[in-house]
Amino acid sequence: MKKIAVINDLSGLGRCSLTAAISVLSSMGVHPCPLPTAILTAQTEYPSYYCDDYTDKMEIYRSEWLKLDQHFDGIYTGYVASVSQIQQIFHFIDTFKEPGTFLLVDPVMGDDGQTYDMYTSELLEQMKQLVLRADIITPNLTEFCLLTDTDYAEIMQSGLSDKEFIKELRNLGQNLCQSSPKKIIITGIHTTDQDGTPQIGNLYLGNAEPYFIAFPYIGGHYSGTGDLFASCIAAGIARGDKLPDLIFTAGNFLEYALKDSVKEQIPYNDGVNYEKFLSLLMPV
């Protein structure tokens, strides 16, 4: 069975981070090994939360897992609570990234043009360094702009057609890709289809032609959707899925979860009702 070290926080409320990763990886037939970066009562967009920082524990996990001679098919990183956690991740990568181990970095820093509470310019600089080590990254549009020093508001108000917009993202992505042989999936790109129906899609930039796949945009802005998406990609890579198929599967899974959440009027901070759709991800 394929095995992935998942470096992410555990949030009691909000259906994100490790909660999302463990359930998605397990459903996809991949063994998750959680390394918590922090334990929170709730994800940080709730009006109140308590965060128990796990930075000091990260080295203990690394050395204990090394003692137990652990090997991973993948390393998948998500939310980090501070810059020093990124330093710990480098140390973890130096120890456990072998020739056959992929590194997926979900550079969690913000969404919808806003940065999360833990964001600082120093964290961005370190995140850029981490991204350089990755084989694949899954930024949302806000995070992609941060990584490429692009003004989010400016690009959103640029008046570009969908086609021009995607071309622009491709150009920006090319610079990032040049630094290392990596694949980028940019999530949460708003477009409209031929009938003028709003869509939301994911853009895959790799060695081949860009691949953009969109689904009807049902509205809403829920916690944890990026984490669910990145988890699908991590598990899919481990089990050998083809990336375009995998991006479709992940988007389709989220579309069902979002539809159900809108229907049930789930508060955005609570995350989406994905649990009953996990069967869509199971190995056939």
In the complex, the residues that contact ligand PXL under the rule CB under 6 A are 9, 11, 16-17, 40, 43-45, 79, 108, 116, 223-224, 226-227
Least distance in Å: CB of 161 to ligand PXL?
A: 30
From the number of C-beta atoms within 10 Å of its C-beta (0-12, 13-18, 19+), residue 91 rates as middle
Least distance in Å: CB of 258 to ligand PXL?
A: 15
Question: Beta strand 74-77 with 51-53: parallel, antiparallel or unpaired?
Answer: unpaired
Q: Looking at beta carbons only, is 73 or 111 nearer to ligand PXL?
A: 111
Cα–Cα distance, 173 to 181 (Å, whole number): 12
From the number of C-beta atoms within 10 Å of its C-beta (0-12, 13-18, 19+), residue 284 rates as exposed
Calculate the alpha carbon distances from 274 to 152, 159, 183, 198, 216 in Å: 29, 34, 26, 22, 17
Q: Looking at beta carbons only, is 44 or 148 nearer to ligand PXL?
A: 44
Least distance in Å: CB of 226 to ligand PXL?
A: 6
Where on the phi/psi map is residue 19: left (φ > 0), alpha (ψ -120 to 50), or beta? alpha
Is residue 111 classed as helix, strand or coil in its secondary structure? strand
Q: Looking at beta carbons only, is 1 or 50 nearer to ligand PXL?
A: 50
* Length in residues, the chain: 284
Q: Looking at beta carbons only, is 20 or 205 nearer to ligand PXL?
A: 20
Q: Which residue is nearest to ligand PXL (CB)?
A: 44
From the number of C-beta atoms within 10 Å of its C-beta (0-12, 13-18, 19+), residue 213 rates as middle
Q: Which two tokens stand for residue 276?
A: 């009953």
Q: Looking at beta carbons only, is 43 or 202 nearer to ligand PXL?
A: 43
Least distance in Å: CB of 172 to ligand PXL?
A: 22
Cα–Cα distance, 51 to 233 (Å, whole number): 27
Least distance in Å: CB of 178 to ligand PXL?
A: 28
Least distance in Å: CB of 266 to ligand PXL?
A: 15
Least distance in Å: CB of 99 to ligand PXL?
A: 30
Q: Looking at beta carbons only, is 108 or 237 nearer to ligand PXL?
A: 108
Residues paired with residue 163 on neighbouring β-strands, in sequence order: none
